[in-house]
Amino acid sequence: MTTNTILHELMNTKTIAEFADYIKTRVQTSTKAWLEIAQAFAEAKAMYGGESDAFRGLLKETKFGRATAYKLASISTSKRIKKYEDKLSAVHSWNTLYKIHSLTDEQFEKVKQEFHLDDKDVGTSFITINKIEALFKKKNEETSFKLYAAIKIDEDAMRGQLFDGSDYENLENLLQQIQNIIPYLKVIRTDVDGKIESEFQDKVMKNIKTIGRQKLNEAVLSASERHPNITGEKAATKFKRLFGISKDELLAKFINDPKEAFEFIGSEYDEAKIYDQAVKKASEGIQAIADKVRRTRDAYHEANTAVWSQLKHVEIERTQSMLTEQETDKAA
């Protein structure tokens, strides 16, 4: 290595602080973008309604889950995030912003102290959801908080979208009221809604791949029919003579870039149509779950109503019997 090369490398060496500043700037740009996305979802929700076809269309177009969109919308209306927007500009994800938004006032006070949010002399710092959770983990273990009650949501009802966006919003509002009105309570949230939404999106993505391969096979067959003069001893030979690559190579091309694979064989990849079909197929499964839930819950409610009706009837008879005994005693 020459002296000039060594000097060149030394002159181009960056310090850790420089790398940190570079990364922080990009994280701040990302955080600002998430806040803008959150504002857009809040405006669309207010304008069209969270359960409207227009809002569902927006979710489909942007490939956001409903639970995620509702959480993002709530971030945009958070007074504490608005107040500390500069200090919270280097969080690692929108999930961290939502976590901060959903903390109790007592918990948020601890976050403010830990990350110096009210200290003007301290700049922005990287804040992750793990850091926030770790902040309360030790405290939860040392305190005398005990489980008093649990709120459980019917998972099948969530999968069938019978428990919808407005239900989430109402539940969150009620939980917030409980925390504000009654002291010494902790509301511990899980991510069950995100898990259900993620599972649905996974099904959509799997359906996109399955339907896409079906369409690719149809396109290959159509291309083959347009060239009946090309023959070969084996199907593989005919395929390679027709397209110039093997079937496995075309499949690999499809996995890497579906549109390119379709165009390679002279066909068109209709991404929007395939996505709609994938969502429809996934929704059929949701509808089946919803129908099952309705049937089982209707039967439960009918039986429950019948039991309470019978108990009420017994109580009326018992009251009448007691009144009769009292009247008899008075007459005596």
How sure is the predictor about 7, in pLDDT bands with cuts at 50, 70 and 90? very low
Q: What is the 3-state secondary structure (H, E, C) of 280-328?
A: HHHHHHHHHHHHHHHHHHHHHHHHHHHHHHHHHHHHHHHHHHHHHHHHH
pLDDT exceeds cutoff 50 at 274: yes
Lowest mean pLDDT, pick from 49-53, 195-199, 311-315: 311-315
pLDDT at 214: 92
| Angle at alpha carbon of residue 111, lines to 106 and 113, rounded to 5° | 100
Q: Indicate whether 53 belongs to any domain.
A: yes
State residue 98's pLDDT score: 85
Of 245, 270, 295, the residue that ends a domain is: 270
pLDDT tens-digit profile of 79-126? Answer: 888 888 887 877 767 888 888 888 888 888 888 888 888 887 777 777
- Checking if the pLDDT of 10 tops 50, the result is no
Residues 6+ apart with CB under 8 A from 122: 116
- Do residues 208 and 274 touch, judged by C-beta distance below 8 A? yes
Identify whether residues 7 and 131 lie together within a single domain: yes
> Do 236 and 136 belong to one domain?
no
**Rounded alpha-carbon distances, angstroms, from residue 151 to 28, 154, 179, 296:** 36, 10, 14, 20
CA atoms within 13 A on the CB side of 118: 8
Give the total residue count for the chain: 332
138 and 8 in one domain? yes
- For residue 87, is it within any domain? yes
**Of 54-58, 185-189, 320-324, which one has max mean pLDDT?**
54-58
Tell which residue, 109, 90, 115, has the closest CA to residue 27.
Answer: 90
Which residue range(s) make up the domain with 68? 3-143
Domain final residue pick, 270, 295, 321: 270
The total number of structural domains that make up the chain: 2
pTM: 0.47
Contact 207, 278 (CB under 8 A): yes
- Tell me the three state secondary structure of residue 233: coil
For residue 232, being part of any structural domain is answered with: yes
Rg value, the chain, Cα: 31
When the pLDDT of each residue in the chain is averaged and rounded to a whole number, the result is: 78
Report the pLDDT averaged over residues 23-28: 67
Residues 126 and 23 in one domain: yes
Residue 310 within a domain: no
